[in-house]
Structure 1
Amino acid sequence: MAIIPAYHYPQQGKLVVLGAGESGVGTAVLAQKKGFDVWVSDVGRIADQYKKQLEEAQLAYEEGQHSEAQILAADLVIKSPGIPNTAPIVQQLKDRGIPVIAEIEFAAQYTDAKLICITGSNGKSTTTMLTWHILRQGGLNVGLAGNIGRSFALQVANEQYDYYVLELSSFMLDDMEHFRADIAVLLNITPDHLDRYDHKLENYVDSKFRIIRNQRPEDHFIYCLDDPITKAGLERHQPAAMTLPFSLTEKVVPGAYLDEKNELVINVPQQELFTMDINELSLQGKHNIYNNMASGLVAKVQELRNASMKESMGSFKNIPHRLEFVACIAGVNYINDSKATNVNAVWYALESLAPQIVLIMGGVDKGNDYEMLRDLVRTKVRAIVCIGKDNSRIYDSLEDDARIIVNSSSMRDAVEIASHLAQKGDTVLLSPACASFDWFKNFEDRGNQFKEAVMDL
């Protein structure tokens, strides 16, 4: 165990956890092991699996409310990233000077492991999984956590990993003050969650750049040189770490780039030069070349052998709900991209697939700007089938470019309509561009309902 000296949070006393999901319950278990008097509060209903964990650990909890007196008596509060800093209970805590931090920052105090942290508007789950796969196949003792997999805090409590690959959302980064990433990866920045950032892109950019906060010259910052918002953000956020950019359009040394032979080249100081034909990558499409560049740079910083990297990058299977092949029925391919919850993710999906596409999209609009999809819709999309309660913005933006655009009454209805519109050789793509909570529990539920409907055709 290593308490990082820069951290000045209480190391004993009453600790309150707000939110009893994966991160909250894991935090409670770790805090109990470290000697805190732990109490868990969730304003909603706690899922049975987490309630069972809390009861087995004999941890006190409440559900369906936040008892202010109990919470405001805390010495330290760990909150779920889903609870905004503007929430009244959080404001009351801060007004009283009670520290409110995230699970990731709390758990990082109690591990000596090297922390490899990945963020971005799109591709972070795929890149996190790919990085973990490459490092694990390369023989490193590595855990997977953050916005994916099991709770980081729970793993710190019960495991002994030398490395962690952490997927970090902007909401997680917002709650970090003293946390330091040994390797920080910023894949891209596109407008997303702007409702949480006063509808100001610069606020969201500042949130993403918190990933380089507290880095030192011996650390590494990996980023996409081709992303204009990231490049603009670098003018305001100067990294202290060694920078390793990646690009499809420029030869960057040190860094990663695409050469004239369509080979991915990774050049890291004092490491053997890595090259790989992009056609040998298991993940295809322009966006996945970027993902492989980022993961490959992490692997090279960790001094992995070229042969091991090539085997891993050629064998990796993508995560569920991210351009996931479901079935080929009557010559039509069905692809589940339910994790595409913003417009840029849909652009990547359309860009990576051949025409003709029947696109299933819609849901809870987050202030989306669909303009960037117009050219791809015009050239690649046979029809759009809308899901969700209100798709007026999709109609307003894309009606002139889509040959056919229709509504549906359920996921099953959408899949049936799409199957009738599609022709042999087409692809039916679920890539919503929107949040899921009007018709579905979450994006996993949406993707699973799509897969079930496809298999029932």
Structure 2
Amino acid sequence: MRLVILGGGESGVGTAILGKKKGYEVFVSDFGKIKENYKEVLIINGIAWEEEKHTEDLILNADVVMKSPGIPDKSPIVKLLLKKGISVISEIEFAAPFTDATIIGITGSNGKTTTTMLTHHLLKSAGLNVGLGGNIGKSFAWQIADNKYDSYVLELSSFQLDGIVNFKPQIAIITNISPDHLDRYDYKYENYIDSKFRITMNQTEDDYLIYDADDEAMNDWFKTHTTKAKLIPFSLTKTFSEGAYLKNNKMEIKINQEEFTMDTEHIALEGKHNMKNAMAATSVAKLMQIRKATIRESLSNFQGVEHRLEKVLKIQNVQYINDSKATNVNATFFALDSMNTPTVWIVGGVDKGNDYNELMSLVREKVKAIICLGVDNKKIIDVFGNVVDMMIEVDNMSDAVRMAQRLSEKGDAVLLSPACASFDLFENYEDRGKQFKQAVKNL
């Protein structure tokens, strides 16, 4: 059997490794450049590849083709394959038959990364042998080739779902649906909605679909379509005999005659949209029969999304932490509160009328030096000037990080938690966080 893979990125190389292990003759073709680290993996594994071209003779003789999600169906090579009747599938479709693990698939326009990370955190904290993959982390196929997990939590984009035939998760989540990527769907919103619902198309009566019952697009879909899966809705406004909802500042979840409640104030994730993400993830945990105490603890200590208290590197025993997502004082309070070593704090940006006095006791207790990274730092200097030993102003990220390295010593932490918006020096908080991580790596 000849397996041709279009795209030599994470999913492509992972599929190549699994294919090789399962006895396929494998060829990887990338129209762009393949990253050096992926080339090395292909060479070590004796897998044939090409870059910056698609050689038709080497592709059109495939028995099956795995296409990376970034390549549209409209691309010339994909059109040729489909015209010849060659099966073009996604990584998850190729990989799933090679595992008998329980699969939890999560899709949606927004919130799917947080929900995926939180679901993985809940299951892992309970001691389950669980992998994380799909649209984030290590390739699903690669993980199946390498290690044996009993269950997988997969973040799935609509592009990945477009390439499935038989794939089905035992538990599916659709977080929400809003118009996105319509250029790939002939500018028809209904095509995009249908694409998301492909996650449930092969589910049976033994499977579950967890969905946002407040979502207009989903409610409309259910008026004209059905799924065999058992439905578990979640909502901020409605209540259910089976599902997840809010009542008197408590999250309540009723599944299979069992009830779980938790005060919303103890859930680490903030904001209404995150409450929904927490409901969806907790519904999975209940279906997987995780103990209530474990769920409560995991929901209260979850921190795992990029730019949110993200541990970057430890250099000379100093921990660098990226909390660029902290664009207000409340978020920074949470960050400083979680520090248990002397901290060099990088703060500043576009002030939203901040009252920094709320942070005073934490700064006195934990912060040894402050680096102001903003165009106007007057307010921060006025509030904390007499509180810390060292206060320095910089106007770019690499200076901030280099300065922090000088001011820190073994056992300290360097925390980027700006308490401000980023638009004075950066495109957005992600850009700010990425620049911080890059600057740390350049030390």
| 1:264 corresponds to 2:254 | no
CA distance in 2, matches of 1:381, 1:40: 50
In structure 2, C-alpha distance between the alignment counterparts of 1:417 and 1:453, rounded to whole Å = 19
Alignment-derived partner of residue 296 in structure 2: 310
Q: CA deviation at 1:320?
A: 0.8
Report the equivalent of 2:415.
none
Q: Which blocks of at least 5 consecutive residues in structure 2 are unaligned?
A: 313-321, 333-350, 354-372, 384-417
Cα drift, residue 453 of structure 1: 8.4
Write the letter of the residue equivalent to 1:235.
Answer: K
Q: Residues 147 and 420 (structure 1 numbering): CA distance in 2 closer, same or farther, change over 3 Å?
A: farther
1:285 corresponds to which residue? 271
1:14 and 1:138 map into 2 onto residues whose CA distance is 41
Matched, 1:209 2:201: no
Match of 1:311, SS state, is helix
TM-superposed CA distance for 1:79, in Å, is 0.7
Q: Which residue of 1 aligns with 2:177?
A: 189
Distance 1:416 1:445, change over 3 A: closer
Residue number among 137, 159, 169 corresponding to 2:125 in the alignment: 137
Change (3 A) 1:381 1:92: farther
Distance between the aligned counterparts of 1:27 and 1:419, measured in 2?
Answer: 50
Deviation at 1:419, TM superposition (A): 6.3
- Would the aligned equivalents of 1:118 and 1:165 in 2 still touch at CA under 8 Å? yes
Give CA-to-partner distance per residue, 1:106-150, whole Å, 9 cap, x none.
000100001100011111111101001101111211111100110
Aligned residues: 360
Match of 1:175 among 163, 166, 185: 163
Q: Deviations over 1:197-239 (max 9, x none)?
A: 2222111111111111111011000001111122112223312
| Structure 1 residues without counterparts, runs of 5 or longer | 1-12, 327-333, 339-348, 355-379, 383-414
TM-score, scaled relative to structure 1: 0.72
- How much does 1:336 deviate? 3.4
Deviation, structure 1 residue 429: 3.3
Flag the 1:285–1:180 CA change in 2: closer, same or farther, 3 A. same
The yes-or-no answer on 1:429 pairing with 2:426 is no
The offset of 1:418, in angstroms, is 7.7
Matching of residues 270-419 of structure 1 within 5 Å: 270-271=257-258, 273-321=259-307, 336-337=324-325, 416-417=374-375
Q: Letter of the aligned partner of 1:283 in structure 2?
A: L
Using a 3 Å threshold, how does the CA distance of structure 1 residues 95 and 420 change in structure 2: closer, same or farther?
farther
Partner residue in 2 for 1:225: 213
The 1-side partners of 2:215 and 2:310 are apart by 25
Equivalent residue letter for 1:71: I
Contact kept, 8 Å, 2:352 with 2:420, in 1: the verdict is no
Pick from 11, 14, 19 the counterpart of residue 7 of structure 2. 19
- Residue in 1 that maps onto 2:188: 200
> What is aligned with 1:236?
224
Q: Partners of 1:325 and 1:124 in 2: how far apart? A: 21
Task: Kindly state the Cα deviation for residue 417 of structure 1 after the two structures are TM-superposed.
Answer: 4.7
Within 5 Å, which residues of 2 pair with 1:26-65? Answer: 26-65=14-53
- Sequence identity, in percent? 50
SS in 1 for 2:228: coil
Q: Give the SS at the match of 2:127.
A: coil
Q: Deviations over 1:349-379 (max 9, x none)?
A: 99x989xxxxxxxxxxxxxxxxxxxxxxxxx
**What is the aligned partner in structure 2 of residue 95 from structure 1?**
83
Aligned-pair distance for 1:325?
A: 11
CA contact (8 A) 1:418 1:428 kept: no
Residues in 1 aligned to 2:309 and 2:191: alpha-carbon distance in whole angstroms:
29
Task: Give, as a single letter, the amino acid of the residue that structure 1 aligns with 2:254.
Answer: N
Residue of 137, 149, 157 corresponding to 1:161: 149
Name the counterpart of 2:359: none
> Is contact 1:181-1:215 (8 Å) kept?
yes
Are the counterparts in 2 of residues 419 and 428 from structure 1 also a CA contact under 8 Å?
A: no
Would you say the 8 A contact 1:336–1:451 is kept in 2? no
Secondary structure of 2:119's partner?
helix
What CA distance in whole angstroms lies between the structure 1 residues aligned with 2:177 and 2:200? 14
Alpha-carbon spacing, 1:427–1:199, altered in 2? closer, same or farther (3 Å)? farther
The Cα offsets for residues 304-343 of structure 1, whole Å up to 9 and x where unpaired, read as 11011101111111311369799xxxxxxx96359xxxxx
Q: 1:117 aligns with which of 105, 129, 135?
A: 105
What SS is found at the alignment partner of 1:235? Answer: helix
Amino acid of the structure 1 residue aligned with 2:135: N
The structural deviation recorded for 1:445 is 6.3
Q: Secondary structure at the match of 1:336?
A: coil
SS at match of 2:224: coil
Counterpart Cα distance in 2 of 1:288 and 1:423: 34
CA distance in 2, matches of 1:201, 1:323: 36
Task: State the alpha-carbon separation in 1 of the partners of residues 309 and 185 from structure 2.
Answer: 28
TM-score in terms of structure 2 length = 0.74
* Separation of aligned partners in 2, 1:430 and 1:196: 31
- Specify the SS of the correspondent of 1:428: coil
